[in-house]
Amino acid sequence: MSMFCYQCQETAKGTGCTIAGVCGKTEDVANMQDLLVYVTKGISILANIAREKGIENEEVNKFVFDAMFITITNANFDRVAIIKKIKQGFEVRDLMKKEIEKAGISLPEKMHSSTTWFSNDVAEMERKSTLIGILSIENEDIRSLKELLTYGIKGMAAYAEHAFNLGYQNEKVFAFMQKGLAATTEEKSVPELIDLVMECGKYGVDVMALLDKANTESYGNPEITEVNIGVGTNPGILISGHDLKDMEQLLKQTEGTGVDVYTHSEMLPAHYYPAFKKYCHFVGNYGNAWWKQREEFETFNGPILFTTNCIVPPKKDAGYLGKIYTTGAAGLDGAIHIPNPAKGQDKDFTAIIEHAKICKPPVAIENGTIIGGFAHNQVLQLADKVVDAVKSGAIRKFFVMAGCDGRMKSRDYYTEFAKKLPNDTVILTAGCAKYRYNKLELGDIGGIPRVLDAGQCNDSYSLAVIALTLKEVFELNDINELPIVYNIAWYEQKAVIVLLALLYLGVKNIHLGPTLPGFLSPAVAKVLVENFGIEGIGEVDADIAQMTA
């Protein structure tokens, strides 16, 4: 096989992509991403040794989370950029070695090859990349757990980078990421790896709490908001991904230019933050979840800015092909990349703004509004109303339907599930999974909408805070005694860290779909089922009957 990757839900046949990625990755991009992870593990090994002697290096920390974010599904398809990052990794690794030497620390004689292997020759890099991939770990269960840990760290890296961009960081999170990556290079038993996976969940909670703090202290607590899904008459820029710092800077730089700004997919929740509501040219949300972009970008007419993952490489004859811009960890061969600025400076979005000015306004693909902004602060303001509705029986059960959307026809399950839920139930959601049902007319219960959208995938943290608060309000001993059922859709590694965070918090009996991860070996899947009650999904009517019982 020319490559092997099974980190996303849509991996070929549910077992692994071996020729090209279903996501659009070519084999050379996939293999170079494997090599970048390999080099990052070597840096992490050295960082762990240095940290034991009190040495903390911000450049190393930033490289690790940035490199892992680059390798997340649908983030970076630019082979040249990935090779450049690998070469930067060699420099960062040498920097770490010099700091260790300067501190008088003796390195072990025998170290993992990721701490020493080096080549600037691309052909040699390509050869090496085929030797250090996922399948180089022979034991299926060990491989499964090490990959589960790695994918959790990839998701953690995404959230750590967003927080870092807003000036917030947690050195303990960085330390765990490097500890976990180093552990994947060591001989570990199944119980030891299970402990590390659960510890990953713990730091998943921490990093999502950090990002929640960064977002709310920077832009205010999300508020209940009706978001326009129609269009204006000016040319526009469509911003996709997740990074709110990029959103802020783009809004500032487009003010007064005659160019409107629209959100796409996971950027929808930007409308809920008070700080962004002052911009009159912040028009609304355009389109749906990430996987529909090939058709929806054609009618938008203006340029598109990807701030993070959620890229679908366009077809060669796509009309919007020359209108794609990337920034941060995102990358696409042929797209214009807006680089990170010098420390303390803003990114320069001049190129995409000038491009937008010569484009036609977007064509409406729908009209009306959708409502959101039900993060933990807003919901807890409604706590008395919610509690009364539960006590009176007006609300029988909450369904957490957070997570990711995807292309598979089987995901129609979630739309049908939402439609068939009894009228005395409420959906709590976050992430792009909401696009399966957030435009349905599901009504409300005593003024409480039946779909409460907390925000982006990282805002699944809000749903956990709500659950923990309700546990205290109802004076329960166990979070699983609440009238809350978890029916979560997953797609990529940020959903993995959300799942591990929920497991760490003690949530059990989570339904995970539309399929269980291909990277779970039968034995590891059995551990999750037996210890946490994780199970897949089945037929809608049968699942609703079981979950509402």
Partners of 427 in the β-ladder? 399, 451
Amino acid at 221: N
Distance CA 434, CA 481 (A): 25
Q: Supply φ then ψ for residue 285, to 5 degrees.
A: -110, 135
Output the pLDDT for position 379: 95
Q: Supply φ then ψ for residue 12, to 5 degrees.
A: -55, 125
Output the pLDDT for position 343: 86
Longest dimension (CA), the chain: 69
493, 460 contact by CB (below 8 A): no
Output the pLDDT for position 344: 87
341, 105 contact by CB (below 8 A): no
Output the pLDDT for position 185: 98
pLDDT along the chain (549 residues), means of 10: 96 97 97 98 98 94 98 98 98 97 93 97 97 96 98 98 98 98 98 98 98 98 98 98 98 98 98 98 98 98 97 96 97 97 94 98 98 96 94 97 96 98 98 97 96 96 95 95 97 97 97 98 96 96 96
H-helix segments, 265-382: 293-300, 350-357, 376-381
Amino acid at 380: L
At 397 the three-state DSSP class reads strand
In the chain, the domains with their CATH numbers are 1-136 (1.20.1270.20), 225-357 (3.40.50.2030), 376-547 (3.40.50.2030)
CA 175 to the chain's CA centroid: 20
Tell me, yes or no, if the pTM score tops 0.75: yes
At 427 the three-state DSSP class reads strand
